[in-house]
Every structure is written in C-alpha cells, then in structure tokens.
Amino acid sequence: MNFPTFIFVVVLSFAGSACVSSKKYKSLSKEYETLNSRQTSLQTELTQCNTDKSKLMGQQQALSEQVTFLKENNTQALSQLENMSVISKQQAESIQKSMENIGVKDAYIQTLQQQMAKKDSLNMALVMNLKGAIGNLADEDINIKVDKGVVIIDISDKMLFKSGSYDITDRAKEVLSKVAKVLKNQPDIQFMVEGHTDNVPYKGNKILTDNWDLSVKRATTVVRLLQNEYGMDPKKMLAAGRSEYNPVSENTSAEGKALNRRTRIVILPELDQFFKLLEPQQKT
C-alpha cells in the first residue's frame, strides 16, 4: 500500500467515525489531492529522465566509436611516419632551388605576357592606321585584320589584276600607295607579299607554266611596285607564291574562287625582340 492510498484509508476511517469533524475531513481530502498531483508530476519527470538517459547513452556509444576510430587512424599514421625517411639536406636545398626557379619562371611568363599585350596593342594601332588611310573600301576588295598575332592585308585579285594577268590595275596602285605610306612610317617592321590563286588551271602565255608561276609573279609584281614607285626598302620585303594550296574558301562556287584569288600582305613579327628577351633568362 503506497502512501497516498494509506492516507485515503485513514481519511475514510475518520470519515466513518463519528469522532472526525467535517472540517478535518475536508482538510485531509485536499491534502490527498495535492499528494496525488505531486505523484503524477514526479512520474512524468521520471519518464522524461529515462528518455534523456537513453539519448545520452546513445551519444556516449557514438563518441566511444569515434574515439576508437581515431585511435586506430592515429596508430596507422604513426606507423606510416615511422616508415618514412627524412629528406637529406641536399634534397632540401634542391627543393628550395626548384621553388626559386618557379618564381623566376613566373616572372618571366608575366614579362612575356606584357610583351604580347604590347605587341597586340601595336598591331591594332597599325590596323586602324591602315583602315584610316585606305578609306571605305568594301571588305570583298580589301580586308585588314589581326590573325594569330600578325597583321594581314588581303587584297582581291579582281581589284589588283585582270583575269589571268599579273599587270597591276590603276585602282590597285592607288590602294597600294596608301598601304606603302603607312608601312613606311613603321621602319622596324618587315612584311611578306603572298600570291594566291583558285584551283582553275592557268591558261596563259608561254612565260608562265601554271598557278605556281602566276601566284609568284603577282607577288613579285606587287613587291617591285612598292620598291620602285613608293620607295619601300627591299630588305624589308619578301615575295612568295602559294598557288591554289592555301585557300580561304571552297573552290566549288564562283564566290569561293573569288575569295581564294587574292594577294596577301603579312606583317611579320619582330622575332629579334623576343630573342633578346630570352637571352637574359638563358644566362641565369
């Protein structure tokens, strides 16, 4: 028999007795209700404590497993460290030297990037000067651009030459005079004049055999004109013929063949400047 039940029995005994007053009975009943409410509250708290205990035991188990795992990894790591050999002083110096070389190479790469950026800027300035000097000619007649780090001037053969001929037209002479004026203001540059044809076999005089001859003859004609009439330094010029073997379009249509029949002026890169830039790096 628990305590509240005992109290209740006592209360009933007194209630049944003529000796217990009504006031006393009410007091004992109220005390019983209080004790009963307290018992319910304590029972709830006990249930909560048991739940918390279960959670804590689960957390303790998880932590114990983590500790075991860390101990095993620590043991394995220590074992690996014991098997590792300590680098020698010579190896340490070699690593240090390698790191220093990496720093030097990084600085060298940055210098090259700066030089390339400067060169790109100069190329764009040259393109703008050429376009400004030549004026508003259609792109199919003349196209000036920067391609793979060099300035290229493509002039269509319909403007430069008559069909199958290497005699320069008066209109082409006017354009070439403007090109020469810009290039003469760049004394440090060199350029190559390339002749290009389509794939139609050459049928002309006995002096020329095929498209190879025609492409070379057109290139030398342009170079000779730049030298003799516009005062270009011949030491700065090269003449080359590419025949039909470096097309910019398919030779399957009249439009494509027209694009392939062209004379190209290529502003050559100033390689000497890059070689000079490389020389100090090679001495270190």
* Nearest-5° Cα angle at 269, 267 to 275: 160
Burial of 183 (0-12, 13-18, 19+ CB in 10 A): buried
Does 280 have pLDDT greater than 60? Answer: no
162-171 long-range contacts (CB < 8 A, ≥24 apart) are 164/202, 164/203, 164/204, 164/214, 165/204, 166/214, 166/217, 166/218, 166/221, 167/221, 168/221, 168/222, 168/225
Mention every residue, 6+ apart, whose C-beta is less than 8 A from residue 223: 193, 234, 237, 238, 239
Q: Quote the tokens at residue 41.
A: 């509250």
pLDDT band at 119; cut points 50, 70, 90: low
CATH superfamily of 117-276: OmpA-like domain (3.30.1330.60)
Per-residue model confidence (pLDDT) at position 128: 84
> Which pTM was predicted?
0.56
Q: Which residue has the higher pLDDT, 180 or 60?
A: 180
Per-residue model confidence (pLDDT) at position 84: 54
Which of 1-22 are b and which e, b meaning 16 or more Cβ less than 10 Å from the residue's Cβ? eeebeebbeebeeeeeeeebee
Q: Quote the tokens at residue 103.
A: 């720093």
pLDDT > 90 fraction of the chain, expressed in percent and rounded: 24
